[in-house]
Amino acid sequence: MAWDALKKSINGLVNKVNASNVANVVPELFRENLIRGRGLFARSVLKSQMASPQFSGVFAALVAVVNTKFPEIGELVIKRSVLQFRRAYKRNDKPVCVAATRFLAALINQQLIHELLALELLTVLLETPTDDSVEVAIEFVKECGFTLQELTPQGLHGIFERFRGILHEGEIDKRVQFMIEGLFAFRKSGFEGKRGVPPELDLVEEDDQLVHEIGLDDEMQAQAGLDVFKQDPEFEENERKYADIRREILGESSESESESESDGSSSRSSSSSSSEGAKADPANRGPGEMEIADLTETNLVNLRRTIYLTIMSSLDFEEAGHKLMKLNIPPGAEVELCTMLVECASQERTYLRYYGLLAQRFCFINKIYPRLFDEVFMKQYSTIHRLETNKLRNVAKFFAHLLSTDAMSWTCLAYISLTEEATTSSSRIFIKILFQELAEAMGLKSLNERLQDPEMREYFQGIMPKDEPRNTRFSINFFTSISLGALTEDMREWLKTAPKTAPKRSTSSSSSSSSSSSSGSGSSSYSSSSSSYSRSSSRSRGRGRRRRRSPSPSSSSYTSSSSSSSRSRDDRRKRSRR
């Protein structure tokens, strides 16, 4: 935490420096432990200068002031700048060469570097002249020509003679030849507009400045190890030593210094200070004093805030994972990291793979995280109805990524029960997006093989129920409606051979034969194996047939009367014919 705070503080101060506030930034910079963060300072200066070469003079003035108190830091910046030029020159990287030479020229103007390095650099650029190398040399001379004219006029004269020879040879482009002629005119005008260090950046007395004699071909190391964190076994002792140095540089009193130290330490690492206080409390606590428990969960809130800021401020998931591993999350609080990852993913407008990759990395690093994500999955699914559709979609895609990469166990699907009664519209949307993402990531065939795994089948009984045909049909219809019907083949086969559900027999006697007949006909479609019930049904049907065969008295009398009337009509017809 202290290292990250130091890094952010140095980067912030270097980035905000300009010609008007450089004198105010320097004291703030000295309040930071520059001895510990010298690599961070050098890296930040070179990175900012490369991004904004027009502010090379400002960064050179900042380095010049630091060099008066810490010469080793100034030397480190110079060496890295020289190495940067050498690498760019070998790669023929013109933009980096121009930026590096511009910064070296500003350091020469501040007299941090001996003028011999400038002559060596120009000799290398003009030894085998090309259009680009000559152009870089011209820009370099324009930046520090006035200083070289004062320090080594003979050396600068030799450089201009070399320019003259290149111009007479005429082997370079016309445009570059005009630039050389313009350089001669610029020299004749006394380097007007580029005369050394501007007054607002001339912050160091000539007697206080330390000049570094570094050659262009010298063997030097960038000391990249200073840019990364290393455990310091004597951290407290070194901090006290730098506090004395800071007090000597800034002339602060011990009281004000202690206040600034306490402010800085609290702003840098609240968690580390609280842990130190927790360690010191038991030693100072008397036997009769009671321990005060913080029920406001302040530490938990601070941890969640730190995790959130780290996740949102990182460039990619690897950087975020590296920073989160450095947080030293206390044991038992790892679930907060899992919860924050899910919440951050749900807050995005669209799902970002950044969160899934970060969670996957933690699951592969420590075996505790798959179990914790399993718990978070259970909590999220149980409260899925509280989420909006967009958040619900992001959460489903997040867990689909973890499942498809085997970062977490598939046993978490046991929490899902895909029935009409156990699901809501929100949970069905969640399941739909989850399985669609799994099918897209794994392929339908691989997903089906995973769901049919005999060892894991018990955890998928809720998703693919085989307890009742009604629930099985619901699951089949659900997966078919989301274009994943291929996953339901096993359930369809089970449904074909599923045993018929036996009806519950009524204990009360039938009030009428028609009611028993209707109940028998309605129930016979569900169970044909109940012999007693079949016999009762057949008896009722037999009684019905007998009723239809034996007509009632009224119907027989009607039949006899109708037959006699028909005979009388036939007799009348015969008489009429006769």
Report the first-to-last Cα separation within the chain, whole angstroms.
Answer: 134
pLDDT digits (tens, 9 = 90+) for 37-59: 899 999 999 999 998 899 999 99
pLDDT of residue 476: 92
Local confidence band at 530 (pLDDT 50, 70, 90 cut-offs): very low
Instruction: Tell me: pLDDT of 19 over 80.
Output: yes
Q: Is the distance from CB of 420 to CB of 466 less than 8 angstroms?
A: no
Average pLDDT, stretch 56-65?
93
Instruction: Tell me: pLDDT of 74 over 80.
Output: yes
Residue 114: partners with Cβ closer than 8 Å, 6 or more residues away:
211, 212, 213, 214
pLDDT above 70: percentage of residues in the chain: 78
3 state DSSP class of 1: coil
Classify domain 2-223 at the CATH topology level.
Answer: 1.25.40
pLDDT of residue 498: 74
Average pLDDT, stretch 493-516?
54
pLDDT of residue 251: 75
118, 122, 119, 95: which is closest to 106 by C-alpha?
118
Structure tokens, 281: 């409390």
**Which is higher by pLDDT, 324 or 536?**
324
pLDDT of residue 1: 64
Q: Could you say which DSSP state residue 226 is in?
A: G
Local confidence band at 397 (pLDDT 50, 70, 90 cut-offs): very high
pLDDT of residue 290: 54
Longest dimension (CA), the chain: 167
Q: Do domains 2-223 and 298-496 have the same CATH topology?
A: yes
Q: Give CA separation, 25 vs 12, 36, 549, in Å.
A: 10, 19, 116
Local confidence band at 571 (pLDDT 50, 70, 90 cut-offs): low
The conformational region for residue 550 under phi > 0 = left, psi -120 to 50 = alpha, else beta, is beta
3 state DSSP class of 577: helix
- Give the Cα separation of 511 and 526 in Å (integer): 23
Residue with tokens 């428990």: 293
Domain ranges within the chain, ordered by starting residue: 2-223, 298-496
pLDDT of residue 569: 53
- Give the Cα separation of 554 and 474 in Å (integer): 56
298-496 CATH, one of 1.10.3720.10, 3.40.109.10, 3.30.565.10, 1.25.40.180: 1.25.40.180
pLDDT of residue 199: 85
The CA-CA-CA angle for residues 203, 206, 208, to 5°, reads 85
pLDDT digits (tens, 9 = 90+) for 333-366: 899 999 999 999 999 999 999 999 999 999 998 8
Instruction: Tell me: pLDDT of 526 over 60.
Output: no
Average pLDDT, stretch 525-542?
38
Local confidence band at 551 (pLDDT 50, 70, 90 cut-offs): very low
Q: Is the distance from CB of 370 to CB of 359 less than 8 angstroms?
A: no
- Give the Cα separation of 423 and 418 in Å (integer): 6
- Give the Cα separation of 534 and 554 in Å (integer): 34
Instruction: Tell me: pLDDT of 542 over 70.
Output: no
pLDDT digits (tens, 9 = 90+) for 220-269: 888 888 888 888 888 888 888 988 898 888 875 433 444 444 444 444 44
Torsion, CA 379, CA 383, CA 384, CA 387, rounded to 10 = -120
**Mean of the per-residue pLDDT values of the chain:** 80
Total residue count of the chain as it appears in this document:
578
